[in-house]
Structure 1
Amino acid sequence: MPGGERQHPLVYDRVAYAYRGGEEAVRDVSIRLEEGKVVLITGPSGAGKTTVCRMANGLIPHEFKGRLAGSVTIAGRYDSRKLSVSALSKIVGVLSQDPETQLFNPTVEEEIVFGACNYGLPVETIRERTERLLELTRLKPHRHKNPHNLSGGQQQSCALASILAFDPLVLVLDEPTSNIDPIGSQQVLELVARLAREENRTTLLVEHKIEELADLVDEMIVLHEGEILHRGPVREVLEHVEYIDSVGLSVPQVTLLCAKLRSAGWPIERLPIGIEEAVEVLAPLIDREALSRAPQLPPRRVQHGEEEVVVEITGLSHVYRDGTRALSGVDLEIRRGEFVGVLGQNGSGKTTLVKHLNGLLKPTEGTVTVAGLDTRKATIAQMAQTVGYIFQNPDSQIFKMKVGDELAFGPQNVGLSEEEVAKRVREAAGDLEISHLLEKNPFFLSKGEKQRIAVAAVMAMKPDILVLDEPTTGQDFKRAREIMDLAVRLHAEGQTVIVITHDMNLAAEYCDRVVIMEGGRVLLDAPAREAFLARKKLEASSLRPPQVTVLGEALGYREAWLTVDEAVEMLGASGGV
């Protein structure tokens, strides 16, 4: 291919698109992606990010019908309107937001080699790339397993490896790490950036994780309501950090912290984007000795102080039919009214553990008692009235053809009156801001909207115990906080909340107690402030503390900052102006 054609392998020229029957999802978007460059597109839910991805390999306009204006050109000569999706897939590798829909082979290894074999790569090249990708994505121990028996994060890694294996000219990744633990997420993003440079591959990356990508991408584009709001080098764009934060994006904590301090009058000229840089900026401005003597921060919310144990797990082990031992001798107690985070790397046993709480799984060994019910003997219907479980993948939970019917299903099936069912549907839809979707087919909505529908369907049941398995997957930071704020409201009313999450910032901000899983066992069970200072145990489970926690340690604070606002408060008392 001539050099001129490769110079801009993917070009969007004044593109606008409206789905059938809807308003424009994107308008007047022009992007020229250079060879070997990594471009980050970020923005709040509904900004048009997934629509931009679908244009890259012809899903728009061939599979999704609507009004398309402007043009998308691939490899300098292919018009996306004129080349089929199958033909474009050889040039543009796309990882969708939901990787499970892309996995169909019986084993992980066969999934990875499938595309490469079909596109005729040499056998030895396929072998070498497969072994390398299995290693890099931490899937080597699972090479002979069915991909659908893996955790959500492992499925995401498998789908990514299968695309990288056939060496596309352009790589388009729609939130490729939304289900992956923090250290694994960082490794995957570093792998994508490194391969882009080493193999001269143009990469378009849609992500909310600006903090992890700040040093890895060449350009950052912020979409908002279908239009480009800001674009340029990451540092230049992040000068607008407070505005970007206000539209619902998760920006680097140290950047936001320093922007807030600068607004308060601190002499900060250049906003940092990493922890080391933040230490250099802040250390000369504070009294580190005074900071080291600063008192411990108070609890962030009223603690219920209940003594009643509502979840009692004793000697729990679980072995799946394929022989995988997911849990080994777990002992755990949760009291009524606690707000507990269950954290750990992909495959550590988190989801397996909480699926025992509502009877979806039964113990291989040991016992699980929930609100006095032995889950080995109770029916799933009995457990559903006590434990509300929100799945990691909303497609595993949604089955009705109308959103309103989905929300009404649970209350109807426990015998509530029509009036009470309608009331609960209205309340749950209002809380999750999906009232306008009640007549829609949920299968045609975005993953973020589906996630909110799944949450609302469980909320309508008003269970005593709420289990949220990665409830913020596919959500921007604003939506994620809204879901967690709703959980806080329920917790304030006395509900017990158990959250599985890979988002350490949200876990630190919302969870009072943290249970860290590793290798099917409980590695650490401690209050959140104590847990996020246990660096070695966090790393053992592929986790890392929030940026502000690490910054506080580096500046000499002896406790743990868990949020940006806490850091602002403590630093304000120790210098600056």
Structure 2
Amino acid sequence: ALQIKDLSFQYEGSTTPALSGINMQINYSTINLILGGSGSGKSTLLLSIAGLIPRFIPGDIKGKILISGRDIHKLEQKEIPALYGVVFQDFKYQLFSTNALYESAFYPSNLGISRDETIKKAKKSLRMLGIEHLSDRTPSSLSGGEKQRLSIASVLSGGTDIIGLDEPFTDIDSSSRVEIINMLHNLSKNDKTVIIADEEVILPERYDWVFVLKDGKIINQGRANTILNYPLKLIESGVKPPDLTLLSPENNIHNLEDLYDYLKASDIKYKNKKSRKEPNLRPVINISSVFFSYDGKTDVVKDVSLTIRKGEIFTLLGPNGSGKTTLAGLITGFLKPQKGKIEVLGVNPSDIEPEKMCRIIGYLFQDPDHQIFSETLFEEVAFGLKIQKLKQKEIDRKVKTYLNYLNLSGLEGEDPYSLNKGERQRLALASILALEPAILILDEPSTGLDYNEVTSLMKTVIELRERGITVICITHSIWLALKYSDRIALMKGGRIVKVGAPETVFTDDDALNESGVIRPDITSLAIRFGGFARSAGDFFENFEWRGKDKLSHLHRGLS
């Protein structure tokens, strides 16, 4: 289906190649995974296959890309979508039509065929993705998972047999992730070839072949169960391996049932019988019976009551459209509830002046580029301090302190957009922390970051908690919520389903089912052995079994 020979590419103005010596072959009717961290070249590779590089994104390209034996560099751009279609990382920007049917019909409508044939192809594509019932819905009214399916349908509607997807699971909830990857697997069994670029291994058994990229080069490739035998190499590449892999890499066991049988036969015992006590911390946010509606008709926050405490990491977890971000907007005072009461440090947030509120609550957006606007790192961090009318000497001191704290020291005079996304996120966080707020809200902090960047960010968050700052985290990432949260609120349909420590929330099957949150295999495994684990490292610490010592080097490496 696809052959790439000695492909190299360097962006115009760059001093280093984004891709170097790429050789790969992908067969028809397979599902393939390209793994790599930030800057590994995954997106560049998908855009190169689509012919968008170098036609629309300039640079120096060498090598050959053959799709069904045809050299794409000898084809006109309009010929390529019939052979290969790509769904971009931010797939929402590919949707522009007034309803789902017209969105799916856009590509075939440009093929010079009749209207009836166009609609037939569009409906077939929607049906293939299981969303034909959404034909009359506007794309903006769909959930994240539904938008993702529509993006895929709109690419497939023209008849292409090969589709590439760039980090397709980033902004969708856990249930939608599983549904979409299963759907893509089914497509591969029905004469479609699927290529997924990602920073995390989800359902590894679904993939026929895996490539690992680092610094623009393929450093490993093979079947998933072979690649997963080297989890430290994946982590070094910015990839999060499945937790189960970290418990038996030398035994080549990568699924829950087989690992359960192996550990049971190895006389496993739960050694940590102590239940973690919730600290008795002072409340800083009180929410009582709050309702909110954008249109005055449909409540998107319904009868929510919560208490959030000083110095805890409190996570709002739930599917797309569950009300997480809206609730955060109510806490900041950007939105006002129609019913109920909210108090932040004993005061209604809507009554607090903005210049004072920024010293109480800091908000890190999902995309740091939405809050970075200055020409240098120094000016970015200094901006809020100047609004506070601090003396220049104090501004200089705080800018230096917080750039150093976020590992950005020495870059004061640089353009923020010369940084990678992880560095820009740290810059945005530095500008917030310089104002020394009591409460920090993180909106989807893992979006666009690889595993190592997320881990680095969350280490900073833990340090902030230790300093007494309250952190509210809004996320779809179950592993992140489970590993780092002191307490979690499950949300669904604007309501709070369950609140408590991870040990409480993730042992409540009814609450998880109601909120559509899928319990990770590592936690299910621990529960089956009478214990609890937030992560593979937690499991390793909490359990003893025969042969555990063989994994000690792995977990030392992880720490």
Per the normalisation by structure 2, the TM-score is 0.89
* CA-to-aligned-CA distance 1:441-470 (integer Å, 9 cap, x gap): 556766555544443443343321111111
Residue matched to 1:281: 262
Displacement of 1:535: 2.3
* Pairs within 5 Å for 1:485-564: 485-554=459-528, 556-557=529-530, 559-564=531-536
**Pair 446,124 (structure 1): closer, same or farther in 2 beyond 3 Å:** farther
Tell me if the contact between 1:285 and 1:576 (Cα under 8 Å) persists in the aligned partners. Answer: no
**Pair 357,561 (structure 1): closer, same or farther in 2 beyond 3 Å:** same
The code of the aligned residue for 1:135 comes to I
The code of the aligned residue for 2:329 comes to K
Residue matched to 1:127: 123
Tell me if the contact between 2:121 and 2:157 (Cα under 8 Å) persists in the aligned partners. Answer: no
Tell me if the contact between 2:287 and 2:306 (Cα under 8 Å) persists in the aligned partners. Answer: yes
The code of the aligned residue for 2:256 comes to I
Residue matched to 1:3: none
- SS across alignment from 1:475: coil
* CA-to-aligned-CA distance 1:56-103 (integer Å, 9 cap, x gap): 1122112222222222233321323x4454543343221222223323
- In the alignment, does 2:312 pair up with 1:334? no
The code of the aligned residue for 1:383 comes to M
Tell me if the contact between 1:41 and 1:220 (Cα under 8 Å) persists in the aligned partners. Answer: yes
- In the alignment, does 2:267 pair up with 1:271? no
- SS across alignment from 2:332: coil
Residue matched to 1:177: 169
Q: Distance in 1 between matches of 2:197 and 2:77?
A: 20
**Alignment match of 1:242 (pick from 232, 239, 252):** 232
Tell me if the contact between 1:470 and 1:499 (Cα under 8 Å) persists in the aligned partners. Answer: yes
The code of the aligned residue for 1:325 comes to D
* CA-to-aligned-CA distance 1:380-437 (integer Å, 9 cap, x gap): 4443331111222334334445555444433333323344444444444444445577
**Pair 122,150 (structure 1): closer, same or farther in 2 beyond 3 Å:** closer
Residue matched to 1:96: 88
**Alignment match of 2:365 (pick from 363, 380, 391):** 391
Displacement of 1:368: 2.1
* CA-to-aligned-CA distance 1:351-376 (integer Å, 9 cap, x gap): 11112121232223222222233133
Residue matched to 2:193: 202
Q: Distance in 2 between matches of 1:379 and 1:132?
A: 52
**Pair 79,434 (structure 1): closer, same or farther in 2 beyond 3 Å:** farther
Moved more, 364-373 or 52-61: 364-373
* Pairs within 5 Å for 1:227-376: 227-259=217-249, 270-287=251-268, 290-291=269-270, 295-296=273-274, 298=276, 305-307=280-282, 309-321=283-295, 323-376=297-350
Q: Distance in 2 between matches of 1:28 and 1:392?
A: 34
The code of the aligned residue for 1:69 comes to K
Q: Distance in 1 between matches of 2:105 and 2:193?
A: 22
* Pairs within 5 Å for 1:392-541: 392-400=366-374, 402=376, 404-433=378-407, 447-448=421-422, 450-541=424-515
- In the alignment, does 2:72 pair up with 1:79? yes
* CA-to-aligned-CA distance 1:461-495 (integer Å, 9 cap, x gap): 33211111110112111111111111111010000
**Pair 31,273 (structure 1): closer, same or farther in 2 beyond 3 Å:** same
Q: Distance in 2 between matches of 1:66 and 1:489?
A: 42
Tell me if the contact between 1:254 and 1:275 (Cα under 8 Å) persists in the aligned partners. Answer: yes
Residue matched to 1:193: 185
Q: Distance in 1 between matches of 2:122 and 2:149?
A: 18
Displacement of 1:146: 5.1
Q: Distance in 2 between matches of 1:110 and 1:423?
A: 56
Tell me if the contact between 2:131 and 2:150 (Cα under 8 Å) persists in the aligned partners. Answer: no
Displacement of 1:330: 0.9
* CA-to-aligned-CA distance 1:148-173 (integer Å, 9 cap, x gap): x6665554444334334444222111
Q: Distance in 2 between matches of 1:24 and 1:310?
A: 49
Residue matched to 2:210: 220
The alignment yields a C-alpha RMSD, in angstroms, of: 2.8
Q: Distance in 1 between matches of 2:158 and 2:412?
A: 42
Residue matched to 1:55: 48
The code of the aligned residue for 2:226 comes to E
- SS across alignment from 2:533: coil
- SS across alignment from 1:523: strand
**Pair 370,165 (structure 1): closer, same or farther in 2 beyond 3 Å:** farther
Residue matched to 1:4: none
Tell me if the contact between 1:403 and 1:440 (Cα under 8 Å) persists in the aligned partners. Answer: yes
Tell me if the contact between 2:105 and 2:121 (Cα under 8 Å) persists in the aligned partners. Answer: no
Q: Distance in 1 between matches of 2:51 and 2:296?
A: 38
**Pair 550,457 (structure 1): closer, same or farther in 2 beyond 3 Å:** same
Q: Percent identity?
A: 29
Q: Distance in 2 between matches of 1:398 and 1:59?
A: 28
Tell me if the contact between 2:319 and 2:515 (Cα under 8 Å) persists in the aligned partners. Answer: yes
- SS across alignment from 2:24: strand
* Pairs within 5 Å for 1:22-41: 22=14, 23-41=16-34
Displacement of 1:567: 1.2
Q: Distance in 1 between matches of 2:3 and 2:98?
A: 36
Moved more, 432-441 or 27-36: 432-441
The code of the aligned residue for 1:343 comes to L
- SS across alignment from 2:121: helix
**Alignment match of 1:568 (pick from 529, 540, 543):** 540
Residue matched to 2:97: 105
Residue matched to 1:70: 63
- SS across alignment from 2:231: helix
Q: Distance in 1 between matches of 2:7 and 2:159?
A: 27
* CA-to-aligned-CA distance 1:31-73 (integer Å, 9 cap, x gap): 1222122211112221111111221112211222222222223
**Pair 39,146 (structure 1): closer, same or farther in 2 beyond 3 Å:** closer
Displacement of 1:179: 1.0
Moved more, 322-331 or 13-22: 322-331
Moved more, 214-223 or 201-210: 201-210
Per the normalisation by structure 1, the TM-score is 0.86
Where structure 2 has 5 or more consecutive residues not aligned to the other structure, the ranges are 550-559
Displacement of 1:519: 0.9
Moved more, 174-183 or 429-438: 429-438
Where structure 1 has 5 or more consecutive residues not aligned to the other structure, the ranges are 1-7, 260-268
Tell me if the contact between 2:300 and 2:322 (Cα under 8 Å) persists in the aligned partners. Answer: yes
Displacement of 1:344: 0.5
Q: Distance in 2 between matches of 1:575 and 1:237?
A: 22
Tell me if the contact between 1:532 and 1:560 (Cα under 8 Å) persists in the aligned partners. Answer: no
Displacement of 1:511: 0.2
The code of the aligned residue for 1:564 comes to A
- SS across alignment from 1:70: strand
Q: Distance in 2 between matches of 1:26 and 1:378?
A: 51
Displacement of 1:105: 2.8
- SS across alignment from 1:24: coil
The code of the aligned residue for 1:252 comes to P
